[in-house]
């Protein structure tokens, strides 16, 4: 674990103590959170991403605090280390579709043109390999039909996703698939001085729309369809969703990632109670995906009707 | 030897269960409400926890053809519920109503006599996507004494009748497999505002559920003796006549578990085995809480651990029952009974027979909706019953039934009490 004295010396704190040992530091300048990185390139990518995002959007984000020597990261026995302000108050999104839509639109249109080790979480080929054959691994009589029926429906979802992606490449060959710092929850939005403060993680940059899917899905669940549509309109002003990205986004939403995750998880369990928990979890996630696809496609139909055909 | 007069804690449940869009009911084939509870003794309290499990089968409404050519139709896919339907297109209903009752131990002289029963059960289909249920549930086997009546009156005067149901939607909501009112979050972050989806059919509306859930407290009342009680009841109790005098629900307990007074000489404490407690981990029960909060005869002073109190949030409907018995009698008899009646290892669960007079040992009722062309003989044969049983159970005036008619089907007990003849 990083020593307190190293941090005090590097960052020039007068007083520092552990709030959470190895994670959060209590200093005369407030609480500071430590991030550890295994890969230097990844830190560099995040430094650049956060700088650009803050410049472009004007919103605060957990940028790296500089050391006394002006460095944004230090090398320790634990690997690369960066220090950040620690903010915990959640941003209240309600009735702030415009503000947040603008931020997300700018977030996904940000292209920092930094080479990196991108992660593609929605790999259709891999998922297709999971689903193309009947799955029979000695499951109980009760679970086997459940899995088989869902597998067929998942294949149907995947085929629709593939078709959308093909159409998308045909229509919008120039569309730029976003590469972003991954988002896992709306709760990464914090509030500082009544302003949005976005808290990034340390994960690999992500190519595609999975993060946008999560944002939209959670928004739908929290604030309903009407609010989601307002948010989509706002996003579209800054990120050409309808024109360039919609079908790819929908393809990612259609991809039955939750079912393949379920298949992976049930391999590791033998307790029937755990199976029930996983089934429930799958049902919940599947339903969220279904609701999002429905809402997005209806929004697309709605906006398409308003555009006169040439 | 004298006996405490058993009483029942009764309340009614009124629930609306919404199905997912695409899972709307065209025809309800069967519906069963079954208690799935465990009884546990902890300190001075006895906890009755678990769920009322709703099981059913239905034929879903045919999905409308996607001929509109909209983008939404092209990319739509089915919910897990729709996909999970059996091959013959029969949808399955599964829903849990959490139950949590806490009773002071002094009010129970024998855990084996504590039963949770569904006395009445009915439903309506106000829309294709909704089932409205009404059930009367009793917890019987609670000793009645003077304080119990003070309790029920005192609740009106002194205690907030807040039914602690659905305080936490994440815990109390049913399984999302079938219903969308179960918005259990698997995200690591908590939402600041829960699901406010605008379409009530598509997602469960917690506020709506709160409004529609109403548990009506009826009474803590002594069970009434059935004049024509079965012989075995009398055979298995030492003083059956005095014990069952004035009982309202006595026949239910007696016929369900006839050996209620066995092992009266053993003083060795026996650990109470939850009846079916292993299933209760799916949901945190919350709805009915009976806690210690009682007034004395004056109705002011709080007396702890002697009488159950029920808190209800919505539609409190309390009625009290007069009783002439002296206040101290219950405690005396209770302690006496506690000395001579050890707890048994099992507790049976029963759906109370609504219409039987005690001649059959049935543990629950199924509801059967008569289909076109079906006769009583066919239904009786299907459930391995006599036609006469069905007629009696359903108070039919003739041996004919018509399509759409609901029949109560008695199902024989699967859990029998352990009999000890020592």
Q: What is the pLDDT of residues A15-74, one digit of tens each?
A: 899 999 999 999 999 999 999 998 899 999 999 999 999 999 999 999 999 999 999 999
CATH fold group of domain A4-85: Phosphorylase Kinase; domain 1 (3.30.200)
Per-residue confidence (pLDDT) for residue A219, from 0 to 100:
97
Asked if pLDDT for residue B347 goes beyond 70, the answer is no
Tens digit of pLDDT for each residue in B59-109? 776 655 444 578 788 888 888 877 776 555 667 777 888 888 888 888 887
Q: Does B20 touch chain A (CB under 8 A)?
A: yes
* Residue B349's pLDDT band (cuts 50, 70, 90): very low
What percent of chain B is modeled with pLDDT above 70? Answer: 39
Label residues A145-160 b or e (16+ Cβ within 10 Å = b).
ebbebbbebbbbbbeb
DSSP state letter for B342: P
Cβ separation A160–B75 shorter than 8 A: yes
pLDDT per position as a tens digit, A69-107: 999 999 988 889 999 999 999 999 999 999 999 999 999
Q: Are A222 and B187 in contact (CB under 8 A)?
A: no
Identify the CA nearest to B356 among candidates B398, B321, B304, B391.
B391
Higher confidence at residue B259 or residue A67? A67
Query: What does each C-alpha distance from A80 to A40, A41, A73, A77, B110 come to in angstroms?
Result: 7, 10, 7, 8, 66
d(CA A165, CA A171): 10
Average pLDDT (A295-310) is 75
The class that CATH gives domain B358-422 is alpha beta
Query: Which chain B residues touch A283 with a CB distance below 8 Å?
Result: 80-81, 175-177
What is the structure's pLDDT at B387?
A: 83
Mean pLDDT (chain B) is: 55
Q: Do B350 and B400 touch, CB atoms closer than 8 A?
A: no
The hierarchical CATH code for the domain A97-306 is 3.90.1200.10
Domains of chain B, residue spans: 5-352, 358-422
Shortest CA distance to A165 belongs to which of A103, A74, A247?
A: A247
A229 against A173, higher pLDDT: A229
- Three-state DSSP class for B184? coil
Rounded to 5, what percent of chain B is helix, strand, coil?
A: 20, 30, 50
Q: Do B186 and A281 touch (CB under 8 A)?
A: yes
Tally of CB atoms within 10 A around A105: 21
B196/A220 touch (CB, cutoff 8 Å), yes or no: no
**ipTM here:** 0.74
Q: Mark yes or no for CB contact A187/B281 under 8 Å.
A: no
Domain definitions of chain A by residue range: 4-85, 97-306
Q: Give tens-digit pLDDT for B37-54.
A: 888 888 888 888 888 888
Any chain A CB within 8 A of the CB of B188? yes
Give percent of chain B with pLDDT exceeding 90. Answer: 0
Average pLDDT over residues B199-206: 34
Mean pLDDT of B151-162: 33
Q: If we measure between CA atoms, which residue out of B246, B242, B253, B249 comes closest to residue B324?
A: B246
CB of B175 less than 8 A from some CB of A: yes
Of residues A152, A185, A283, nearest to B177 (C-beta): A283
Residues of B in contact with A160 (CB under 8 A): 74-75, 77
Q: Indicate the pLDDT class of residue A296, thresholds 50, 70 and 90.
A: very high
Residues A200, A188 contacting (CB under 8 angstroms): yes
Q: What is the pLDDT of residue A83?
A: 96
pLDDT at res. B14: 83
Nearest by CB to residue A293, choosing from B75, B182, B196, is B75
Q: Report pLDDT for A84.
A: 96
pLDDT value for A212: 97
Q: Which of B78, B175, B202 sits opposite A280 (nearest CB)?
A: B175
Token match 């977030």: residue? A107
For B249-286, letters b (16+ CB in 10 Å) and e give bbbbbbbbbbbbbbbbeeeeeeebbbbbbebbebbebb
pLDDT value, residue B87: 56
φ/ψ of B310, rounded to 5, equals: -110, 135
Nearest to A157 among B77, B177, B187 (CB): B77
Q: Could you tell me which residues come within 8 angstroms of residue B392 by beta carbon, excluding any fewer than 6 positions away? A: B355, B356
B353-374, pLDDT tens digit by residue? 333 334 444 556 677 777 778 8
What does the pLDDT look like over B175-197, one tens digit per residue?
Answer: 333 333 333 333 333 333 333 33
Most B-contacting residue of A258, A272, A284, A304 (CB-CB within 10 A), to test interface: A284
Query: Which residues of chain B have a CB within 8 Å of the CB of A223?
Result: 193, 196
């Amino acid at each position: 674990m990083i020593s307190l004295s190293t941090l005090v010396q590097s960052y020039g704190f007068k007083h520092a103590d552990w709030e959470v040992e190895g994670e959060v530091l209590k200093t005369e300048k407030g609480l500071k959170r430590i991030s550890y990185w295994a890969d230097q390139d990844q830190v560099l990518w995040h430094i650049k991403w956060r700088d650009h995002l803050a410049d472009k959007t004007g919103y605060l984000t957990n940028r790296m605090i500089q050391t006394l020597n002006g460095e944004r990261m230090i090398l320790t026995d634990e690997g690369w280390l960066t220090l950040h302000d620690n903010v915990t108050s959640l941003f209240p999104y309600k009735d702030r579709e415009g503000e947040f839509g603008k931020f997300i639109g700018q977030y996904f249109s940000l292209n920092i043109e930094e080479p990196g080790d991108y992660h593609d979480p929605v790999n259709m080929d891999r998922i297709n390999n999971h689903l193309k054959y009947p799955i029979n691994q000695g499951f109980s009589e009760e679970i086997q039909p459940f899995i088989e029926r869902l597998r067929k429906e998942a294949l149907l979802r995947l085929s629709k996703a593939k078709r959308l992606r093909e159409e998308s490449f045909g229509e919008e060959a120039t569309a730029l698939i976003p590469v972003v710092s991954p988002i896992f929850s709306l709760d990464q939005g914090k509030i500082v001085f009544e302003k949005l403060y976005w808290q990034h993680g340390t994960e690999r940059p992500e190519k595609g729309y999975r993060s946008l899917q999560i944002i939209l899905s959670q928004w739908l669940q929290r604030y309903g369809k009407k609010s989601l549509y307002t948010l989509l309109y706002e996003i579209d002003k800054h990120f050409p969703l309808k024109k360039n990205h919609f079908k790819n986004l929908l393809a990612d939403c259609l991809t039955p990632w939750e079912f393949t995750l379920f298949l992976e998880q049930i391999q590791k369990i033998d307790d029937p109670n755990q199976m029930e928990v996983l089934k429930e979890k799958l049902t919940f996630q599947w339903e969220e995906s279904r609701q999002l696809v429905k809402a997005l496609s209806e929004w697309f139909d709605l906006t398409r009707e308003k555009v006169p055909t040439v | 030897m004298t006996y405490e007069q058993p009483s029942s804690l009764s309340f009614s449940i009124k629930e609306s269960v919404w199905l997912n869009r695409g899972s709307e009911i065209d025809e309800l084939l069967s519906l069963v409400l079954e208690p799935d509870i465990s009884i546990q003794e902890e300190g001075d309290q006895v906890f009755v926890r678990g769920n009322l499990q709703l099981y059913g089968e239905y034929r879903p409404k045919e999905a409308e053809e996607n001929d509109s050519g909209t983008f939404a139709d092209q990319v739509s896919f089915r919910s897990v519920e729709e996909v999970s339907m059996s091959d013959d297109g029969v949808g399955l209903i599964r829903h849990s109503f959490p139950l949590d009752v806490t009773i002071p131990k002094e009010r129970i002289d024998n855990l084996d006599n504590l039963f949770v029963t569904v006395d009445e059960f009915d439903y309506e289909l106000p829309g294709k996507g909704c089932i409205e249920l009404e059930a009367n549930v009793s917890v019987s086997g609670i000793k009645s004494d003077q304080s119990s009546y003070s309790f029920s009156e005192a609740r009106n005067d002194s205690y907030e009748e807040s039914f602690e149901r659905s305080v936490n939607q994440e815990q109390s909501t049913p399984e999302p497999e079938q219903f969308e009112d179960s918005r259990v979050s698997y995200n690591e972050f908590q939402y600041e505002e829960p699901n406010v989806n605008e379409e009530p059919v598509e997602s469960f509306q917690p506020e709506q559920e709160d409004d529609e859930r109403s548990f009506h407290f009826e009474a803590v009342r002594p069970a009434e003796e059935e004049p024509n009680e079965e012989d075995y009841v009398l055979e298995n109790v030492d003083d059956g006549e005095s014990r069952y005098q004035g009982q309202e629900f006595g026949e239910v307990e007696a016929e369900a578990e006839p050996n209620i007074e066995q092992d009266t000489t053993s003083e060795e404490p026996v650990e109470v085995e939850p009846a079916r407690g292993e299933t209760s981990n799916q949901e945190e029960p919350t709805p009915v809480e009976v806690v210690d909060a009682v007034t004395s005869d004056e109705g002011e002073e709080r007396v702890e651990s002697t009488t159950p109190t029920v808190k209800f949030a919505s539609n409190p409907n309390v009625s009290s029952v007069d009783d002439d018995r002296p206040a101290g009698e219950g405690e005396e008899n209770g302690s006496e009974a506690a000395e001579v009646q050890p707890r048994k290892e099992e507790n049976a669960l029963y759906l109370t027979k609504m219409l039987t007079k005690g001649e059959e040992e049935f543990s629950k009722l199924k509801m059967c909706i008569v289909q076109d062309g079906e006769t009583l003989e066919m239904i009786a044969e299907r459930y391995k019953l006599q036609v006469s049983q069905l007629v009696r159970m359903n108070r039919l005036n003739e041996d004919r039934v018509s399509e759409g008619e609901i029949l109560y089907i008695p199902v024989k007990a699967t859990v029998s009490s352990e009999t000890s003849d020592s």
